[in-house]
Amino acid sequence: MNQERLPQWAANYLQYIQVPLREPSHAYLTEICTAHLNRIPFENISTLLRFREYHQQGRLEQDAERFVNQLLQFNMGGTCYMINSSLHRLLTELGFRSRYALLGGTHVGLLVQLPHEEEEVYVDCGNAAPFFQPVRLMSEPDYVSAYAGIEVRLRPADEPGTYTYHRYVDGKLLTDLLWTFDPRKTYQFDDFQPAIQQYFKPNDLFTSSLRCQLWQLDQQRSLSLVNHVLSIRDRDGTVEKRILSDLGELREVIDQEFKLPKLPVEEAVNVLRQLGVDIWKDNATSFS
C-alpha cells in the first residue's frame, strides 16, 4: 500500500500511534489496536471543552481530521463516539471493511471484516477496556480481553445472533455495564445523535466528573484518573491510589505519569466548575 495515497490526517494518525503502513490483516489490526490504547487516552476533557459548542450546534459531527488535529495539538483522545468513529475512518482508509455496532443503546464499537475471512471481528479502542486485539465473536466465543484486573467478555445473549458485553473489575461484574448488541444491524453515525444528546446533558457521567484513562503496557500498568483520585493498576491487578490535593498535582500527574503534556486539563476543570462540579469534593464512580 502506498502511503502517498493516504489523506494527510490518516498519515498523521498512523504516525501519532507509531504504526507503519501495512496491508490489512489480523496481525496489523492487532498492532493498531494495541498501539491505539497505549498512545491515545480515553478521556472526557475533550468532551468538556466541546460542551458549549455542542449545545450551540445541537449535534456532534463525525470529524476524523479534527480528531487527529486534537491529538497533535492537545494530546486529546475522547470517548467512544469520537475515538471509534475516527478509528473507523482510519481503518477504511487502510483497506479494512469497518462498520459500527451499538451496544446497550449508548456505546459505539466497531465490527471489522478481515481480508479473506467471512467472520467479522469486534474492535473497540474507545472504552477504557483491554481490547488489545480484535475479538472473534463466533469462532472464539470464550475469549476474554483482560489486563490488570479488568476483564471484558462478549458472550451470546438470550436472543439468537445477539451478544452481551460483560465487564469485570477484580472479579466483580459491573451490572450497569451489561450492554447487549446485535451485530446484524447496520448504523450510520447520525443514528447515534439521540444517545450523544443524552451524553452531553449536564450532570451526566461525562459532564459531571473529570476522567482520563490510558494503558501503558511498556510499564505493565494502567492509569485511571477520576476527579482527584489517580488509580495505578499493575499487570497483576495490584492497585495504588493517589489522592491529589490541587491543580498543580493534577498537572504533574498528567505530565509525568500519563505523558500527555499538552492535555488542557486546567480548562476542563474550569468547565466543570462552571457546571457546578468541584472535582476536589465530588466523587465519581470509576470504570476501573
Q: Following DSSP, what letter does each residue of 187-229 receive, concatenated?
A: --GGGGHHHHHHHTSTTSGGGSS-EEEEEEGGGTEEEEEETTE
Q: What is the DSSP letter of 127?
A: S
- What is the domain extent for residue 27? 1-283
Distance CA 163, CA 180 (A): 6
* Closest of 286, 277, 260 to residue 71, by C-alpha: 260
> How many domains, in total, are found in the chain?
1
Tell me, yes or no, whether 265 lies in a domain: yes
Say what the pLDDT of residue 5 is. 86
Instruction: Identify whether the C-beta of residue 87 lies closer than 8 Å to the C-beta of residue 123.
Output: yes
Instruction: Identify whether the C-beta of residue 193 lies closer than 8 Å to the C-beta of residue 59.
Output: yes
For 241, the 3-state DSSP assignment is strand
Tell me, yes or no, whether 174 lies in a domain: yes
Say what the pLDDT of residue 281 is. 87
Instruction: Identify whether the C-beta of residue 103 lies closer than 8 Å to the C-beta of residue 180.
Output: yes
Say what the pLDDT of residue 1 is. 57
Distance CA 108, CA 85 (A): 8
* Closest of 94, 96, 100 to residue 113, by C-alpha: 96
Q: Which residues of the chain have pLDDT under 50?
A: 284-288
Tell me, yes or no, whether 288 lies in a domain: no
Instruction: Identify whether the C-beta of residue 19 lies closer than 8 Å to the C-beta of residue 35.
Output: yes
Say what the pLDDT of residue 176 is. 85
The residue whose grid cell reads 489523506 is: 7
**pLDDT tens for residues 48-107?**
999 999 999 999 999 999 999 999 999 999 999 999 999 999 999 999 999 999 999 999
CATH number at residue 171: 3.30.2140.20
Tell me, yes or no, whether 30 lies in a domain: yes
Tell me, yes or no, whether 46 lies in a domain: yes
Say what the pLDDT of residue 286 is. 47
Tell me, yes or no, whether 17 lies in a domain: yes
Q: Quick one: cell of 268?
A: 476542563
Tell me, yes or no, whether 134 lies in a domain: yes
Sort 171 into a burial class: Cβ within 10 Å, 0-12 / 13-18 / 19+.
exposed
Distance CA 227, CA 244 (A): 9
Q: Quick one: cell of 216?
A: 501503558
What pTM was computed for the model? Answer: 0.95
